[in-house]
A = this chain, B = another copy of it.
Amino acid sequence: MNFFLPDVVARQLPNVVGRLGLGGIEPVRRLVSRAVINKFGYATTLRPRALSLASDYTSWLSLTDRTFSGRHLPPSTAVQQAALPPEAEVVALYRRERLTPATDTSVMFMFFAQWFTDSFLRTSLTDYRKNESNHEIDLCQIYGRNIDATNLLRSRQGGRLKSQLIEGEEYPEFLFAPRDAGQPAVFKPEFEGLFDPAFITEVILRSASEQQADTFFAVGLEHGNSTIGNTVMNVVFLREHNRVAGILAGENPAWDDERIFQTARNILIVMLLRLVVEEYIMHIGPFDFPIEAVPLIADQERWNRPNWCAIEFNLLYRWHPLVPDTIGSGPGALDASGFRNNNPLVLEKGIEAITAMCSKEPAGRIGLMNTPVFLVDSSNPDWPSVEQVTVALMRKARLRSFNDYREAYGLPRLTGFDQLTPDTEVRQRLTALYGDIDKLEWYVGIFAEDYPDYMMMGELLTCMVANDAFTQALTNPLLARNVFNDATFTKTGMGIIKKTSSLQDIVTRNATSPEAVHVSFSYGSIASLNDNGRTR
């Protein structure tokens, strides 16, 4: 399916070029990056697709109403559905008994992935067919999902977001008004309307203590305080927004708050896009090569079609095995309750310490039998577990089989479980559940598929995530030919974008002790940094 290079060349070229150290030569880097991006961009048929979750046949709604999740393949048949094993047995496949660590992926990567994907994969709680996002990388995590939310979050001075200083460090403002112990949490008047109060009370605050809730920050998304990772990412991007706004305000004294804000946002979004491609997808990708977000690449390509997040994209991103049992060791170690809803910890330790801790900690290895028990087993009969919800959603979406998806992405169908994985226990369990490799469910297959140490997930999962990521990140309107220029970002803004290719860059700029900053998606990376600041 790659129109530019034979498959074997496209697969090996980046590694060969990378190992020869040619990735630093701009024209080479650009050429290889283009080949890699297009290899994945054209891995399957292109948007627009005939179906969404709106209906099983094509309608004007299924073609235009993006509140419904898209779908890559049509639904499976009733006969296929009837032959599937019970959901509970599928859920059980994921249960971790003992953590298998990732080869080099850090907990920082996990937190980034969660924070990043929460902005565009927002399954509705009332209608599983719907995705409440804008289908764009728009940094709604700090700007809110719509203009009303954005307005509540802006200070209206100097293009800045509202923030507060705590012991000399900048954080978002607190969401709730001060209260006496035992009183319910109430939004500060200035944040009324930011979120549905019922959702906050019934879902978000259910698992948070009073002390935790009182330090919840007012950020763009409801889940913005749910892990120390979400909080850290929001704080870092808020600081960077206000830093950039300050620079723009200084250089453009005639600009009003509105123009400074909008221009800073333009810069911040593209900064995020760059690090998504050049650090994050790069980390996921199977190549030993510094992939570049080639300027204007989408302009020429047929995969440049309106974004529409598919249900498969939503589901394949449930990388629950990345979640460790604990972060750190010894008396300061955090278990799951320690890294959830824990803004007090972030305030106590600070951004640099938390990001460094998460960067040195191995994430779990993506695969079956490696998801923490608290995500697999429900602790409350009224609330299904995260993995139960996921498997139920997968079933409701009536997806085609693992092999059907392999075929749709240009990969050969497997003919037996032995081709899927050498792991005898997994083989045995899947054979018992499904009997035939052709009956293996897609959601199970992408986690069961074995992969070498230099990859972080199986072949189909890699291909699918890269396809959706490249064809929906690089279509961002800020990267378009008429837009990606000094007029949109200012010359200074273009310079800031150019100087940003990693999260480490952004954290460092906003740190009180820049030399102490260590942020990496590879937990073992300090010793083995190469010229590109990358390990793989």
Contact = CB atoms under 8 A, between A and B. Distances in A.
Interface in A457-489: 477-478, 480-483, 485, 487-488
Contacts of A269: 60
B266 A59 contact: yes
A482 to B, nearest CB: 5
A477 B63 contact: yes
Interface string A50-74: 1000010111110111000000000
A258 B60 CA distance: 12
Interface in A480-504: 480-483, 485, 487-488
B61 A147 contact: yes
Contacts of A59: 262-263, 265-266
Contacts of A60: 138, 143, 262, 265-266, 269
A518 to B, nearest CB: 32
Interface in A291-336: 299-300, 302, 304-306
A243 interface: no
Contacts of A266: 58-60
Given A302-B299, A304-B305, A306-B306, A262 B48 contact: no
Given A64-B138, A300-B302, A304-B305, A50 B265 contact: no
B306 A49 contact: no
Contact of A481 (B46, B138, B258, B262): B46
Nearest to A150: B60
A58 B488 contact: yes
A64 B477 contact: yes
Nearest to A49: B482
A265 B64 CA distance: 13
Interface in A256-294: 258-259, 262-263, 265-266, 269
A337 interface: no
A136 interface: yes
Interface residues of A, number: 41
A55 B262 contact: yes
B259 A57 contact: yes
A485 B147 CA distance: 39
B48 A477 contact: yes
Nearest to A301: B302
B263 A57 contact: yes
A201 interface: no
Given A50-B487, A488-B50, A481 B58 contact: no
Contacts of A305: 304
Contacts of A302: 299-300, 304
A266 to B, nearest CB: 6
Contact of A64 (B48, B50, B64, B134): B134
A124 interface: no
B482 A63 contact: no
A391 to B, nearest CB: 28
Q: 8 nearest interchain CB pairs?
A: A59-B262, A63-B477, A58-B488, A48-B477, A48-B480, A50-B483, A50-B482, A306-B306
16 contacts: A48-B483, A49-B483, A50-B482, A50-B483, A50-B485, A50-B487, A55-B259, A59-B266, A60-B138, A60-B262, A60-B265, A60-B266, A60-B269, A61-B147, A64-B136, A64-B138
